[in-house]
Amino acid sequence: MVGSIAYDSVTSPVGNVEDALGGSAVYAGIASSFHGRYLSLGKIGLVGVVGQDFKQTDIELLESQGLDLSGLEIAEGNTFRWEGSYEGDMGIAQTHDTQLNVFGEFDPKVPKQATKPKVLFCANLVPMLQMQVLQQARGSRLSMLDSMNLWIEIARDDLLTVMQSVDLIIINDGEVRMLAGDDNLVRASRKLISMVNCHTLIIKKGENGVLAFHNGEILALPAYPTENVVDPTGCGDSFAGTIAACLASASGPITKSELRDALIRATVTASFTLESFGTSGLLSLTIERFNSRLQQFQDILS
Amino acid sequence: MVGSIAYDSVTSPVGNVEDALGGSAVYAGIASSFHGRYLSLGKIGLVGVVGQDFKQTDIELLESQGLDLSGLEIAEGNTFRWEGSYEGDMGIAQTHDTQLNVFGEFDPKVPKQATKPKVLFCANLVPMLQMQVLQQARGSRLSMLDSMNLWIEIARDDLLTVMQSVDLIIINDGEVRMLAGDDNLVRASRKLISMVNCHTLIIKKGENGVLAFHNGEILALPAYPTENVVDPTGCGDSFAGTIAACLASASGPITKSELRDALIRATVTASFTLESFGTSGLLSLTIERFNSRLQQFQDILS
């Protein structure tokens, strides 16, 4: 797994947090590891960069989650920082400040023993860096990537190129519309699939659930309905990290029912991220609480 | 069933239509009758008002659908007219002109033989008129109503009063948030339920599906994913009319699985309304096409 590692400062209608451990690889990594423990996946390798200001306690926290940090570079300078806020229904983050810091010079190196994982997940990151990782490593079952609107705006061609190199893409509904230039989500999705030739496209719709296209078939799920929305940061990453873990637990072509089960588990995982600032909702998750909410969600679905 | 009967002029990105037969009672009535035929419900009574300009061919069309028009008043003046347009993802209608015409003086009278239907459905209409109907008639199994943002803005107290007189409310997500004064849809829904004390609240979310609260339980469904969005006018009404018909086909307390089945059929019905201007998508619907899409939607859900 590759992605960003950050210190985030977030304000939402219910409070704020400063310099909280975050970033796409952190949320996705913790979520993947949580599920990996119960799916007997073994350690999940994390490739990323932090600065010299990165706290030793955060290194220990990531290791305690079962992540293999041999691909983590500690570079001269400061860790990537993001500052943002959410308002109203908290559907969209407003970015106030982004400091790339050590990301400006990052040259990702995948450790030799990690070049053939079952699933390679490029979490949200500069598309060119995702490409550098894909040149060093491939998932034996699946390579997948997540992205964000910023890269569509400033690195659209790079993003489309890297998308052509993976099997499964996870992005949100607005991003599919932007990439395909079509307001109709179903048409836009089919266009994007033919533009990049992936077998699976998973579209995150936040509080409106998820729509997925898989080998010509469609899957759709509502979100888990939650009253306790605290901080949406990392929801999409923990959603995607859960999918990566679930799809790493079997072999052969991905089936529709396997994908549906992964989407359900990813939805439930993201609902825990949403309920606390930073990674604390994920970190305090137990398999008992997960299974209880999974059952609740299954009841809502059927 | 009571509601508006109108001539609508609609512009969408794919074309336009002028003075098309529309209105909440028309869409809901045609959808109800379609399902009523296969559920052996008998004639569905329609209470409403039209002007002297209302075409005889439209009277015949409504009768040919199996609607009982003994509650239809033909008043001096012109039929209600609405002019609107849709842009972008076509989620929200822009109203350009509303001419109440005969609705300004409408005094609904429910024919004696229609005062005890199995289900009484007050489709979107001035809340005070819905109340006048509820004072004359009640559904023996269920009374339900639909509404719209306009009435929250200009007749909020009347709307809350009439909501307290029904068992089931169907409105959209923005309207629930407005009524409850809460951006979180789940919290807003629970607030509204306690404000009006209904046993079922169905929240239409357009292309994002439906969320329902039923005796403390939650149901959620995605929308039917369609590429061919032509005119969303009447989708909500045909959705609600289908629910009315489905819930009129059984007795006793409404079960969760019965409600879920009604929501699924309502979603599929609305998807046909969406694909044509005016009522033509609904009118050309056959049970074979309905069942085929119902099966497709079931495949997407499971």
Residues in chain A with CB shorter than 8 Å from the CB of B219 are 300
Residue A1 domain flag = no
Chain B's closest residue to A185, CA to CA, is: B227
Judged by CB atoms closer than 8 Å, whether chains meet at B186 and A225 is answered as: yes
Residue B1 domain flag = no
Residues B193-203 have pLDDT tens digits of 999 999 999 99
Judged by CB atoms closer than 8 Å, whether chains meet at A225 and B260 is answered as: no
How high is the pLDDT of residue B16? 96
Chain B's closest residue to A187, CA to CA, is: B227
Residue A51 domain flag = yes
Q: How confident is residue A90, by pLDDT bands cut at 50, 70 and 90?
A: confident
Burial class (CB in 10 A: 0-12, 13-18, 19+), A3: buried
Using CA atoms, how far apart are residues B32 and B245, in angstroms rounded to an integer? 5
- Yes or no: say if A35 and A108 are a contact pair by the CB < 8 Å rule: no
Domain with residue B185: its CATH number is: 3.40.1190.20
- Yes or no: say if A128 and A103 are a contact pair by the CB < 8 Å rule: no
Asked if the C-beta of A97 comes within 8 angstroms of chain B's C-beta atoms, the answer is: no
Residues B225-236 have pLDDT tens digits of 999 999 999 999
Facing A220 at nearest CB: one of B90, B190, B225 = B225
Residues in chain B with CB shorter than 8 Å from the CB of A186 are 225-227
Facing A185 at nearest CB: one of B183, B205, B207 = B207
- Yes or no: say if A62 and A39 are a contact pair by the CB < 8 Å rule: no
Q: Which amino acid is at B223?
A: A
When pLDDT is averaged across residues A240-249 and rounded to a whole number, the result is 98
Residue B49 domain flag = yes
Residue A146 domain flag = yes
pLDDT at B89 > cutoff 90 = no
* pTM attached to this predicted model: 0.93
Judged by CB atoms closer than 8 Å, whether chains meet at B220 and A225 is answered as: yes
Asked if the C-beta of B88 comes within 8 angstroms of chain A's C-beta atoms, the answer is: yes
Q: B238-256 burial, b if ≥16 CB within 10 A, otherwise e?
A: bbbbbbbbbbbbeeeebee
Using CA atoms, how far apart are residues A253 and A22, in angstroms rounded to an integer? 32
Cross-strand partners of A171: A203
Distance from CA of B184 to the nearest CA of A (A): 6
DSSP per-residue codes, B33-93? HHHHHHHT--PEEEEEEEETTS-HHHHHHHHHTTEEEEEEEEESSPPEEEEEEE-TT--SE
Cβ neighbours of residue A75 closer than 8 Å, sequence gap 6 or more: A49, A50, A51, A52, A102, A105, A106
Using CA atoms, how far apart are residues B221 and B209, in angstroms rounded to an integer? 6
Specify the length of chain B in residues.
Answer: 302
Asked if the C-beta of B178 comes within 8 angstroms of chain A's C-beta atoms, the answer is: no
When pLDDT is averaged across residues B67-82 and rounded to a whole number, the result is 97
Facing A220 at nearest CB: one of B89, B186, B222 = B222
Residue A219 domain flag = yes
Distance from CA of A190 to the nearest CA of B (A): 10
Q: Beta strands B80-86 and B6-12: pairing type?
A: parallel
Look at residues B105, B117, B132 and name the one whose alpha carbon lies nearest to residue B43.
B117
pLDDT at A92 > cutoff 90 = no
User: How many distinct structural domains can be found in chain A?
Assistant: 1
Using CA atoms, how far apart are residues A103 and A100, in angstroms rounded to an integer? 5
Distance from CA of A199 to the nearest CA of B (A): 17
- CA-to-CA dists, residue A234 to A12, A31, A241, A275, angstroms: 14, 10, 10, 11
Facing A183 at nearest CB: one of B89, B184, B209 = B89
Q: How confident is residue A91, by pLDDT bands cut at 50, 70 and 90?
A: confident
- CA-to-CA dists, residue B233 to A24, A31, A47, B100, B296, angstroms: 41, 42, 50, 18, 23
Using CA atoms, how far apart are residues B109 and B204, in angstroms rounded to an integer? 29
How high is the pLDDT of residue A89? 81
Residues A173-227 have pLDDT tens digits of 999 999 999 999 999 999 999 999 999 999 999 999 999 999 999 999 999 999 9
Residue A289 domain flag = yes
Asked if the C-beta of B298 comes within 8 angstroms of chain A's C-beta atoms, the answer is: no
pLDDT at A88 > cutoff 90 = no
When pLDDT is averaged across residues B266-278 and rounded to a whole number, the result is 97
Given the structure tokens 């060093």, which residue do they identify? A136
DSSP per-residue codes, A31-96? HHHHHHHHHT---EEEEEEE-TTS-HHHHHHHHHTTEEEEEEEE-SSPPEEEEEEE-TT--SEEEE
Asked if the C-beta of A178 comes within 8 angstroms of chain B's C-beta atoms, the answer is: no
Chain B's closest residue to A191, CA to CA, is: B227
- B30, containing H or E segment: helix B24-39
When pLDDT is averaged across residues A125-130 and rounded to a whole number, the result is 96
For residue B48, give its domain range.
6-301
How high is the pLDDT of residue B186? 96
Q: Could you give the percent of chain A with pLDDT greater than 70?
A: 100
Residue B183 domain flag = yes
- Yes or no: say if B276 and B67 are a contact pair by the CB < 8 Å rule: no
Using CA atoms, how far apart are residues A216 and A259, in angstroms rounded to an integer? 13
Judged by CB atoms closer than 8 Å, whether chains meet at B300 and A219 is answered as: yes
